[in-house]
Amino acid sequence: MTVTYLKRGKPETERSDDDAKVRSVVETTLADIETRGDVAVRELSEKFDRFSPPSFRLSPSEIEALMQKVSTRDMEDIRFAQAQVRRFAEAQRASMTDIEIESLPGVFLGHRNIPVQSVGCYVPGGKFPMVASAHMSVLTANVAGVPRIAAATPPFKGAPNPAVIAAMHMGGAHEIYVLGGIQAIGALAIGTETIEPVHMLVGPGNAFVAEAKRQLFGRVGIDLFAGPTETMVIADETVDAEMCATDLLGQAEHGYNSPAVLLTNSRRLAEDTLAEIERLLAILPTAETARVSWADYGEVILCDTYDEMLAVANDIASEHVQVMTDRDDWFLENMHSYGALFLGPRTNVANGDKVIGTNHTLPTKKAGRYTGGLWVGKFLKTHSYQRVETDEAAAMIGEYGSRLCMLEGFVGHAEQCNVRVRRYGGRNVAYGAAAE
């Protein structure tokens, strides 16, 4: 394979140093919340966000007052975006059906999709007030029928952001907390004197938020590992450098650690894009973070063939994959590891992030190898049940069960089957023996 790096990000070893630091901060902070509850949460909010209101939970009148501050235009835009997210989520919900089959005469097996009973939805807001993340988690939980939705977001510039709070409220949040980072995630999962713990945490966030969810997994459920944004552009000469550079920087601006990767089979496009990125970085108002991300994590990878591009793309398993080639559908058919695909030059990640209707909470750090993004199905638990309706079925399946239990040496298990064979099959099976 001839894969050439025209630009590389910082080596994997240095990236894992960053991870180790975050891991230990999160560990200590969660332990602190566990032992000192509300007191720790307040101290952490003061320390990281300089925010210490009388109550972190917003009252109905505070919510109302914040919503009054959102312009009519912004409210309409939020409503439009939520309508798109709802439409797609409802279609996905409808694709998940409860089933029941008669697997053998008299034997009925089924499953039911049951909503998680309480979820904590994290809406990021350190650098940017991420209004859209409220639709993605709160509204989707609502479509799934979750009866208790607690939403949390950090203060933005010292106060709750009106548009984020409006989106949470309109999305169907039952409780809204103005809390960020590890203290929000910890308080929701562990619980405090004032916050009832939830059963599952969802939503994206920075490295601290993603790591806190990871460490709390097991104690509560989590949707997926959705850390700092990653983006990949797969392009050939059907598009130009302005398009590629814009799409790379458009996501690199999320933070100082957002990988943006160009994968192409055109040396000319690769070189032009490198130059175009420098040109745009000189004029982009958010260049401060985008420039650091690009320097530390940006990559330009040149391949000879489309097959090589496909192999590299599947291996990297980037969160967002923008495909602009003469064979976009071939990539759709053959890509197996990614967060979401954006096919053709008319789509883009920003529309996907904010408005088009697919969920923007997506797997990062190669989690796309084992999961897709957040969707209504993540809020539903699929539980099986069984029912045996006839004496014949109870006796017949019981004979198999009895023998298979004894094969493993489980005498007590076998008796569960035998008592049914005796009672419903009228057969005398000796206690502790296999039914013959």
Ligand X SMILES: NC(=O)c1ccc[n+]([C@@H]2O[C@H](COP(=O)([O-])OP(=O)(O)OC[C@H]3O[C@@H](n4cnc5c(N)ncnc54)[C@H](O)[C@@H]3O)[C@@H](O)[C@H]2O)c1
Binding site for ligand X (CB under 6 A): 25, 48-49, 124-128, 130, 133, 154, 180-182, 204-206, 208-209, 226-229, 254-255, 258, 319, 360-362, 364
CB 111, CB 98: distance < 8 Å: yes
68 in a known ligand binding site: no
Quick one: 259 or 401, whose CB is closer to ligand X? 259
Quick one: 125 or 172, whose CB is closer to ligand X? 125
Quick one: 178 or 406, whose CB is closer to ligand X? 178
Pairing state between β 320-324 and 231-235: parallel
CB of 132 to Zn ion, least distance (A): 9
122 in a known ligand binding site: yes
CB of 49 to ligand X, least distance (A): 5
254 in a known ligand binding site: yes
Query: Which sequence positions are flagged as catalytic?
Result: 319-320
Burial pattern 87-105, b for ≥16 Cβ within 10 A else e, equals ebbeebbeeeeeeeeeeee
408 in a known ligand binding site: yes
Quick one: 124 or 401, whose CB is closer to Zn ion? 124
29 in a known ligand binding site: no
Quick one: 32 or 353, whose CB is closer to Zn ion? 353
Out of Zn ion, ligand X, none, which partner does residue 182 contact, by CB within 5 to 8 A per kind? ligand X
Pairing state between β 380-388 and 107-115: antiparallel
CB of 293 to Zn ion, least distance (A): 12
Under the binding rule (CB under 5 A), the answer on residue 32 touching Zn ion is: no
320 in a known ligand binding site: yes
Task: State which of positions 350-369 bind Zn ion (CB under 5 A).
Answer: 353
Out of Zn ion, ligand X, none, which partner does residue 419 contact, by CB within 5 to 8 A per kind? none
Quick one: 178 or 270, whose CB is closer to ligand X? 178
User: The tokens of 328 are what?
Assistant: 């976009």
206 in a known ligand binding site: yes
Out of ligand X, Zn ion, none, which partner does residue 142 contact, by CB within 5 to 8 A per kind? none
Burial of 385 (0-12, 13-18, 19+ CB in 10 A): exposed
Which stretches of the chain bind Zn ion, using CB under 5 A? 353
Q: Which residues are annotated as a binding site for substrate?
A: 229, 251, 254, 320, 353, 408, 413
Q: Which residues are annotated as a binding site?
A: 122, 183, 206, 229, 251, 254, 320, 353, 408, 413
